[in-house]
Structure 1
Amino acid sequence: MASLSQLVDNVVVTTFELDQPTIHVGRSPGNDIRIDEISVSGHHAVIESVANAYLEDTLDYYITDSNSTNGTFVNDIRISGRQRLNSNDIVRIAWNEFRFVDEDESAMEKTAYILD
């Protein structure tokens, strides 16, 4: 199972399990992951889990920015569309830093995308 761990000074303070096909991230109360911080938009980003096209019983995770004010970043690069997440990627929601961890990700999965 994959998770998103919030980091403060590179220390995990909160971990969110990504246990639904679609996870909404933002400041508004209706979000699955709620970040009560002024730099985060009400509906900031969406994380989706999708069946891998090459490997059975494998999920891929994607993050999409929801036209937020302060942006969504993966490994310090601002994303503008849908971005695939790899285990240990650093995700920044406005000024809040997270580490994406996918315990089920394998080297074979990464190879499938290189060959694509």
Structure 2
Amino acid sequence: MASLSQLVDNVVVMSFDLDQSLVTIGRRAENSIRIDEISVSGQHAVIEAIPNAYLDGVTDYYISDCNSTNGTLVNDLRVSERQRLNSNDLIRIGWNEFRFIDDSENALEQTAYILEE
């Protein structure tokens, strides 16, 4: 399962499981992840979990900015369209920093051995 870890001075202070197909992030109370801070818009960003078209049981995660005032950044680059997230990406929402962790992606990176006959 994937998660967002909120960082302060590169130390995890809170972790949020991404266990829904659509996770909203923002200042309003109805968001899945609520960040009560002035630099965060009411509905700031959305993370979508979409089954991979080619690999059974694999989920891809995408982040989109919801026309927020301060923007959403992934690895210090502003998100202008829906962007795929990779494990260990750094996400900035307002003054808040998060690390995206996808344990299933790490498992896919293991080397496969091909046996020759």
Residue of structure 2 in register with 1:6 after alignment: 6
Structure 1 residue 107: Cα displacement: 2.3
Q: For structure 1, list consecutive stretches of 5 or more residues without a partner in the other structure.
A: 109-116
**Partner amino acid for 1:23?**
V
Return the alpha-carbon distance in structure 2 between the equivalents of residues 17 and 37 of structure 1.
Answer: 21
Matches within 5 A, 1:66-105: 66-105=66-105
Return the alpha-carbon distance in structure 2 between the equivalents of residues 54 and 89 of structure 1.
Answer: 23
Paired residue secondary structure (2:104): coil
Return the alpha-carbon distance in structure 1 between the equivalents of residues 81 and 95 of structure 2.
Answer: 19
Q: For structure 2, list consecutive stretches of 5 or more residues without a partner in the other structure.
A: 111-117
Residue of structure 2 in register with 1:114 after alignment: none
Q: Percent sequence identity over matched residues?
A: 68
- CA deviations on 1:16-67 (whole Å, 9 max, x unpaired) are 0000000000000000000011000000000000000111100000000000
Residue of structure 2 in register with 1:60 after alignment: 60
Runs of 4+ in 1 over 2 A off after TM superposition: none
Paired residue secondary structure (1:104): helix
Structure 1 residue 94: Cα displacement: 1.4
Structure 1 residue 7: Cα displacement: 0.2
With normalisation by structure 1, the TM-score equals 0.91
Residue of structure 2 in register with 1:43 after alignment: 43
**Partner amino acid for 2:17?**
E
RMSD: 0.9
Residue of structure 2 in register with 1:112 after alignment: none
Q: How many residues align?
A: 108
With normalisation by structure 2, the TM-score equals 0.90
